[in-house]
Amino acid sequence: MAEAARENMSGQRPTVPTWLVPGFILFCLVYPRHDFAYYSNVNESARIYLVMAAVDHRVLQIDESIKQFGDVHDKAEHGGHFYCDKPIGLSLLAVPVYGVMKVVGAVMGHGWTLGELRYIFTVVCVSLPTVLLCIGLRRYWRELTGDALLVEFAILAYALGTIAFTYSTQFMGHQLAAVLAGAHFLLARRVTNRTGWRIAATMGLLAGLGAITDYFSSFLHLFIILGYVRRMRPWSVWAGWLLAGVVGVAPLLIYNTICFGGPLTIAYAYESLGVFKESHSTGFMGVTFPRLESMWGLLFSASKGLFYLSPFLVFALLGIGPGLRSREWRGEWIVILLGVVTIMYLAMSLLVWRAGRTIGPRHMVSMLPLLMTLVVMGVSRRPMVRPWFVGLTILGTAIIGISTMTLPGFEENFENPFASQAMFLLGRGWVSPNLGQAIGLRGVWSLVPLALVFGGLLVYLTRTMNDAKRRLFTWSRVGAMALSIGWFGFVARHEPDHPALLTLLQGRTLGLLGEFRDSSVFLERAIDLNPSQDFLQESVPQLLVNYQQLGDQRAVQRLEAKVRRIESGEVQPSH
């Protein structure tokens, strides 16, 4: 299989410059800044607070950052101090970055804002490593398939058409974990009975850092190690591997000992928020067993379904057989399948499987490079599905792109958040702060440069995937595009939530973004549609915040009067 692939690749003239797709991916990853005036991702904030505490104050508790920048839900409490409750790998990588930034800031006389720190940390520690992973995957997938053009499109599909894009633009550990696991997997392919100590030590370091960046991804590294444990020789290189692995994992053990009294006592055992403490004390740190609700919700639902958001991933099923039947690839395929199934199982076993205000199943991000490898193999072995892969990739990229470029976290109670949140915000001209706004473009217009460049690249890749003997338009291509357009039209308009609940959730989302007046209109309307105690409890706190921000005391009095009428039974909910 590999020999045939290499022959195909050697006989195929390269038509895409090697820098084009990785360069465009980097452009897309740095385009959104996500520096909102009112909304902040508490998952990111806790990590940033730890970086600032370590560099600015030489401590590990985040008390001072909380006092300066505001409280966060995601924190641990022990010994009268607050700590970041996340795996510390990503924060660890950001410490030297922040150290350099402080020097640069001192020279330039510039004080870094929290938003600027978040953006630069993300670009350096998450976005750039993602691009490097894409370059490594491109070489691997070309060896698998021998089809350079298909691989260029597949790299684009992975980086921009899956939730890897969303988490490559945020200072969260999931995508860095994917990079570390992917790099470990690619290096493991070079293991022989004459493995050099540099490769062995690098793999040990990647495994150690992966374990302290995303706990679930530790299983990926375990399976990768089991895949080469019988092949890596001489035995002496294992000493370097072990030493590097200890170096990689030691920071977490030291952190746990200093903060919580023991190397194996992690922050989840000391969650500050009661609901988090309860969830993490159930099962093994919140992991129980899969349920039908979580399986459907994380794989297929409109709310967070992996295959709903990126439908081309379903072609992974076509890639299982060819790899398992090949004697050359079988070992790698077993590692891939174990990794994919295990991460899916763990994500679906979480008691709080929705995982908060997020896009898609964020705990599955680490295995996406492996899942995408199955997709690439499946599509390459069945040319007739290639147009459908292209069409569904364009669809997935549109869904993920719009979701990420508006507000990169879905309200978890929406049944179809793409329509009810992403398209809703886009229709109101609300987009995430981005580089387009830095050159004077406003609202949706700020996305035009990104859309034009992306559209041009898609057209270019789609045309170059057609050799001289094939027509550009065939019935399969037309059908694939029709399916994609129809699917997009459906998911962009389908809003299954009850009108009152939909209005409530949209009003709450607008409030998070600082649109206090519009938020108040929506929340008041939600109460009018369903004047019940439940809706009062969900709406009134945000309404009071809105009116306080607006300085509208008369609106507060009007709201209080409305609440009294509802509580007295003067206004009854309609059934």
Would you state the pLDDT for residue 130?
A: 98
Residue 296's pLDDT band (boundaries 50, 70, 90)?
Answer: very high
The mean per-residue pLDDT over the stretch 396-414 comes to 95
- Residues 252-273: pLDDT tens digits? 999 999 999 999 999 998 988 8
Vertex 343 angle, CA 340 and 348, to 5° = 120
- Residues 94-135: pLDDT tens digits? 999 999 999 999 999 999 999 999 999 999 999 999 999 999
Spatial separation of the C-alpha atoms in residues 166 and 399, rounded to whole Å: 11
Residue 279's pLDDT band (boundaries 50, 70, 90)?
Answer: confident
The mean per-residue pLDDT over the stretch 396-408 comes to 96
Would you state the pLDDT for residue 282?
A: 75
Spatial separation of the C-alpha atoms in residues 65 and 57, rounded to whole Å: 10
Would you state the pLDDT for residue 106?
A: 95
369 compared with 15, residue with greater pLDDT: 369
Q: How many CB atoms lie within 10 A of CB 264?
A: 10
pLDDT of residue 307 exceeding 60: yes
The mean per-residue pLDDT over the stretch 425-441 comes to 95
- Residues 457-485: pLDDT tens digits? 888 877 776 543 444 446 566 777 777 77
Spatial separation of the C-alpha atoms in residues 146 and 7, rounded to whole Å: 7
Residue 7's pLDDT band (boundaries 50, 70, 90)?
Answer: very low
Q: Which has the minimum average pLDDT: 18-27, 488-497, 509-518?
A: 488-497
Mean pLDDT score across all residues of the chain: 91
Residue 64's pLDDT band (boundaries 50, 70, 90)?
Answer: very high
pLDDT of residue 454 exceeding 80: yes
Would you state the pLDDT for residue 466?
A: 58
Residue 349's pLDDT band (boundaries 50, 70, 90)?
Answer: very high
Spatial separation of the C-alpha atoms in residues 389 and 153, rounded to whole Å: 10
pLDDT of residue 11 exceeding 50: no
pLDDT of residue 14 exceeding 50: no
pLDDT of residue 204 exceeding 70: yes
Identify the sign of the CA torsion 526, 528, 530, 532. Answer: positive
Burial 412-424 (b: 16+ CB within 10 A, else e): bbbbbbbbbbbbb
Do the beta carbons of residue 427 and residue 505 sit within 8 Å?
no
The mean per-residue pLDDT over the stretch 239-256 comes to 97
> What is the SS3 string spanning 381-393?
HCHHHHHHHHHHH
pLDDT of residue 69 exceeding 50: yes
Would you state the pLDDT for residue 13?
A: 46
Spatial separation of the C-alpha atoms in residues 506 and 411, rounded to whole Å: 9
Beta strands 81-84 and 75-78 are antiparallel
The mean per-residue pLDDT over the stretch 519-526 comes to 95
The residue whose two tokens read 């005036």 is 37
Spatial separation of the C-alpha atoms in residues 391 and 398, rounded to whole Å: 11
The mean per-residue pLDDT over the stretch 402-429 comes to 95
Share of the chain above pLDDT 90, in %: 77
Would you state the pLDDT for residue 472?
A: 45
